[in-house]
Each structure stands twice: as C-alpha cells, then as structure tokens.
Amino acid sequence: MYNIELLISIVLLLTAYNTDSNIDKESTSITTSAEIAFKSINQAQLAGADVSDLVKRFNTALDLIDRSEKSMFDSCSSNKDCNDKAITMFVEITNDAHFLKEQVKDLASFQKLVNLGIYTPLSAFVTSVAGYWSFKAWKSHNARRFLEMEIKVKEK
C-alpha cells in the first residue's frame, strides 16, 4: 500500500517538474500529493506516532501553496518554485510518515507485549504473595490470640 502511494508521489513530483505550462496538471499534482501525505500522517498517528513535526511541515507546505496563489514570493521565487517545493515537501512527509509508522508500530506492539506478558503477571504475583502472606499472618495471629485466651467465669 505504502509503496504504491510513494510511487504515485514520485511520479507526481516528476510530472510537476517536467511540465512547465500545464497549471491544471500541477494543481492536481499538489492536491494528490497533499492527500497522500495527509493519509500517511493519519496512519502514523493511528499507529501511535508523534506526528507533530509532520503536521508542522505539512502546514508549511500548505502555506507555500497559499503564497503561490497570492503571488507572495518571499520564501520561494516563483509560482512554479512554490508549488514544486510544496510537492517535494509532501513527498518527503509521506516517506517520513511511513518510516515513523513502522518504527512506532513495532515499538507499540513490543510495549504492549511487555505490559501484558511481564509487568502485569509480575505485579499480580507480588500482590498475591503479599496478600496471601498477610492473610496467613493475620490468621495465625488470631489463632495464637485465641489459644492464649483464658477462660474466666463471670461473677454474678
């Protein structure tokens, strides 16, 4: 799934670089690469990754597109330059999001396994020993107290 998305992103990037005048095509490339990047971020986040850096970069790319539409060329030199930079950023975000997702997925599964397989049984064992031992101690204390009792006849 990811490889197909990455391939589409790269093709879009190349298309954007190779067509000079076709604005519609470039616009489609931007939209598609943005959508792929967004989906990748979402998948990474659902896997449990911290995607704050990716979100920041995505919004920077959106800002580039916005500046291109408004012809505000301070962080890029021309309309095409702004859009190319944005598409490159979207492709990089897609790539990084996938890498992050795989990294976190393994870590999350391992963490869950450790929690369920080691920490939980260990805590249950320690609690059981402490609880049972306390119960036994309380029981023997009560028994000892009972045995040490003296029978007294109540005087009327």
Residues that bind other proteins (CB under 8 A): 34-35, 38-39, 41-42, 45-46, 51-52, 55, 58-59, 62, 66, 70, 72, 112, 115-116, 119-121, 123-125, 127-129, 131-133, 136
In the complex, least distance from residue 45 CB atom to other proteins, rounded to whole angstroms:
5
- By C-beta, is 4 or 149 nearer to other proteins? 4
Judged on CB neighbours under 10 Å (0-12, 13-18, 19+), 125 is exposed
| In contact, 44 and 101? CB cutoff 8 Å | yes
In the complex, least distance from residue 12 CB atom to other proteins, rounded to whole angstroms:
15
- Looking at residue 96, its amino acid is D
- By C-beta, is 17 or 118 nearer to other proteins? 118
What SS3 state is found at 120?
A: helix
Phi, psi of 94 (to 5 degrees): -55, -45
